[in-house]
Structure 1
Amino acid sequence: MLRVEEVEDPVPGEGELLVRATATGVNYFEVQVRAGVVPDPLDSPLPHIPGIEVAGTVIAAGPGVGRHRIGERVVGTVAAGSYAELVVVPAAAAAPLDERLGEHRALALLGQGATAVGVIETADIGPGDTVLVEAAGGGIGTLLVQLAKRAGARVVAGASGEAKRRVAADLGADTTVDYSRPGWAEEVGPVTVVLETVGGQTARDAYGLLTAPGARMVVFGSASGNPVEIGSQQLLPVGAPLIPFSLGYRPQRWPELVRRAEELTVRGELDPVIGAVLPLAAAAAAHRAFEARTAIGKTILTL
């Protein structure tokens, strides 16, 4: 259950900033943790404040941080606690806000933009590829559709529901498919790349489409809550490699990937989809939209 409550103001410690938040991003992982679908990596005692992305203005600096940062508009990441008016952010994780982007687009690129750029790079997509983008109506998926098209690929956008399929088509997908329907894979036909983020039976069905030489699957999530499990009876005849990608295992690359996503956006080559902007008090409604599979693009909470 999510509810808004008053708590004591946080105090920045060594190497930390106190940010008066104006916006925070909502991510599906937070919904899964709250619902108990996946374990909380921090094992946080309840009640706790969720959220990992924040935009706002620095109002105080802890020891070891120059006071020149006070008054700076920043966008940054935290381990938890961004669904709040005041957020303590590690100074090293708070970057000056690029005003050309604005805080909503900057939040959309902070984690999801970096992931999308990294996934496309890992998949080594180029002309001649046919790419299946799963969850193509979501925050990462809407970016992947655009990046795969930019790389010269033919894009098949997989999404549940007509609204998400329309968004993917508007972003350049060559064809769309509703993978919540039985037999969806037969509509798609062979592909050379699967960008896998759903897991479970969807992943197994998608893997069966990788019949061309050089085909591969990049795994970067399991939104269904079910792991990506390809049994040897399916894996050995197909032979397509499963390649993992996670920012969590490549934290040193995060700033570079964010910068590349931001540069593409500033140049007009990438357009983050901001699907909903809601007040913080509507956080529970935002989570319900994710659970109902109706959330599109990036969801932002404002303060």
Structure 2
Amino acid sequence: MKAVVLDTDDRLHLTDLDEPTPGPGQVAIAVAYAGIQYGDVLVRNGHFDLPRPFVPGFEAAGRIIAVGDGVDQARISEQVTALTGAGAYAEVVLASAELAIEAAGIDPRIAAGFGWATPTAYDLINTVARVQPGEHVLIHAAAGGVGTLAAQFARAAGAGAIVGVAGDTDRAGYAVRFGFDQVLVREEFPDALGGRKFDVILDPIGGPTRHANLERLAPHGRLAVYGNIATFEPVQASANDLLMQGKSLLTYNSNLLSQTHPGRLADSARRALRLVADGRIHIDITAEYEPADLDTAIQRLANGATRGRSILRVAPVAG
């Protein structure tokens, strides 16, 4: 099979590999499209200690062609969107059967763009912060994959005001298309908010922004942390101070959840996918690449030149 391999020279190469065979609890998927995400930048830049040569790619859409022990044979030929640990940039990828979510009737391009971001955004709003009708929500990285989806899930949950924070005016202009009532540029936060407080804040930033977010929480507010874009330096928070105002600092790690409680992640993915299928949630596919152009796609993502979701065309479904 054809596959894109990240080799020891830090470059991506299109090459031929043996087709993998599913093990117990796994399915083999003939990949139509694969999602391109920021994890690809981190892998390419060596932030994860992974053996090379390595086939990257963490999001796949396609058709199940084989199953391992313990998986129902009836799933063969099922159209799925899959969250994978690696290998999606190949004609065939292995995935946990539990995290290969049936996606019959979903455009495979949309199914590839669904990826990790959609269930992450769903969980942040619905199972971590538990946004209630009328609550005010602040979302950082508003123009990102999770941010644009989280605003839509917050609106679907009945949130009141939804405010975003984006890196620059271009990103802010893009983000407003996804249900935000207002989007600030990063330099405007938090001063432009005046004395406003929020019931829920989503924070993938870290550093001083995390302290500012804690200050912006209303009594009984929830700060949901799911990344450290700015810095991995630890942020100190006083449990006593949080307790006095009923504030909560919560964290979410979808990769860890996929390993410890994959059924929970799969359930959230199915719920999110139903909202996508119903047209209530929009996944914005803005670029499609060929395997030979994957390095360009990843570099554009690293440079901040990408808006919306990018996908890789591996073997499009006939017809």
TM-score computed with the length of structure 2 as normaliser:
0.82
Amino acid at match of 1:115: T
**C-alpha displacement of 1:279:** 1.8
Q: Report which stretch shifted further, 111-120 or 198-207.
A: 198-207
Amino acid at match of 2:131: I
1:77 aligns with 2:86: no
The 1:153–1:251 alpha-carbon spacing in structure 2 relative to 1, beyond 3 Å, is farther
- The structure carrying a bigger strand percent of its residues is 2
Instruction: Report the Cα distance in structure 2 between the residues aligned to 1:240 and 1:154, rounded to whole angstroms.
Output: 19
**C-alpha displacement of 1:80:** 1.0
1:221 aligns with 2:227: yes
The 5 A counterparts of 1:42-53 are 43-53=49-59
Equivalent residues of 1:10, 1:88 under 8 A apart: no
Instruction: Report the Cα distance in structure 1 between the residues aligned to 2:240 and 2:309, rounded to whole angstroms.
Output: 35
Equivalent residues of 1:17, 1:58 under 8 A apart: yes
5+ long unaligned stretches in structure 2: 1-9, 315-319
For residue 160 of structure 2, what is the aligned residue in structure 1?
153
Secondary structure at the counterpart of residue 131 of structure 2: coil
Instruction: Report the Cα distance in structure 1 between the residues aligned to 2:134 and 2:75, rounded to whole angstroms.
Output: 48
For residue 46 of structure 2, what is the aligned residue in structure 1?
36
**C-alpha displacement of 1:302:** 1.1
Amino acid at match of 1:158: V
1:191 aligns with 2:200: no
5+ long unaligned stretches in structure 1: none
Amino acid at match of 1:8: L
For residue 120 of structure 1, what is the aligned residue in structure 2?
125
For residue 295 of structure 1, the aligned residue among 303, 306, 315 is 306
1:102 aligns with 2:111: no
**C-alpha displacement of 1:155:** 0.9
Q: Aligned residues, how many?
A: 295
Instruction: Report the Cα distance in structure 1 between the residues aligned to 2:14 and 2:148, rounded to whole angstroms.
Output: 34
The 1:33–1:153 alpha-carbon spacing in structure 2 relative to 1, beyond 3 Å, is farther
Secondary structure at the counterpart of residue 206 of structure 1: helix
The 1:243–1:264 alpha-carbon spacing in structure 2 relative to 1, beyond 3 Å, is same
**C-alpha displacement of 1:74:** 2.6
Equivalent residues of 1:105, 1:272 under 8 A apart: yes
**C-alpha displacement of 1:137:** 1.0
Aligned-residue RMSD, C-alpha: 2.6
The 5 A counterparts of 1:1-303 are 1-15=10-24, 16-37=26-47, 40=48, 43-62=49-68, 65=71, 68-99=74-105, 101-121=106-126, 122-150=128-156, 151-179=158-186, 181=187, 183-189=188-194, 190-192=196-198, 193-210=200-217, 212-227=218-233, 229-232=235-238, 240-247=247-254, 248-249=256-257, 250-303=261-314
Deviation digits for residues 196-249 of structure 1, max 9, x if unmatched? 112223323333322x22222011222335256144499668773211122323
Instruction: Report the Cα distance in structure 2 between the residues aligned to 1:227 and 1:146, rounded to whole angstroms.
Output: 31
Amino acid at match of 1:162: T
Deviation digits for residues 68-103 of structure 1, max 9, x if unmatched? 54444332222111112222233343233321x212
Equivalent residues of 1:198, 1:224 under 8 A apart: yes
Instruction: Report the Cα distance in structure 2 between the residues aligned to 1:296 and 1:238, rounded to whole angstroms.
Output: 38
Deviation digits for residues 246-300 of structure 1, max 9, x if unmatched? 2323422112111111121222221112232222222222222222223222221
Equivalent residues of 1:264, 1:270 under 8 A apart: yes
Secondary structure at the counterpart of residue 166 of structure 1: helix
Deviation digits for residues 9-43 of structure 1, max 9, x if unmatched? 23314334332211111221232233234xx2xx4
Secondary structure at the counterpart of residue 18 of structure 1: strand
Secondary structure at the counterpart of residue 35 of structure 2: strand
Equivalent residues of 2:152, 2:281 under 8 A apart: yes
Instruction: Report the Cα distance in structure 1 between the residues aligned to 2:136 and 2:160, rounded to whole angstroms.
Output: 6
Instruction: Report the Cα distance in structure 2 between the residues aligned to 1:67 and 1:301, rounded to whole angstroms.
Output: 28
Instruction: Report the Cα distance in structure 2 between the residues aligned to 1:53 and 1:76, rounded to whole angstroms.
Output: 6
TM-score computed with the length of structure 1 as normaliser:
0.86
Q: Report which stretch shifted further, 102-111 or 58-67.
A: 58-67
Instruction: Report the Cα distance in structure 2 between the residues aligned to 1:96 and 1:252, rounded to whole angstroms.
Output: 14
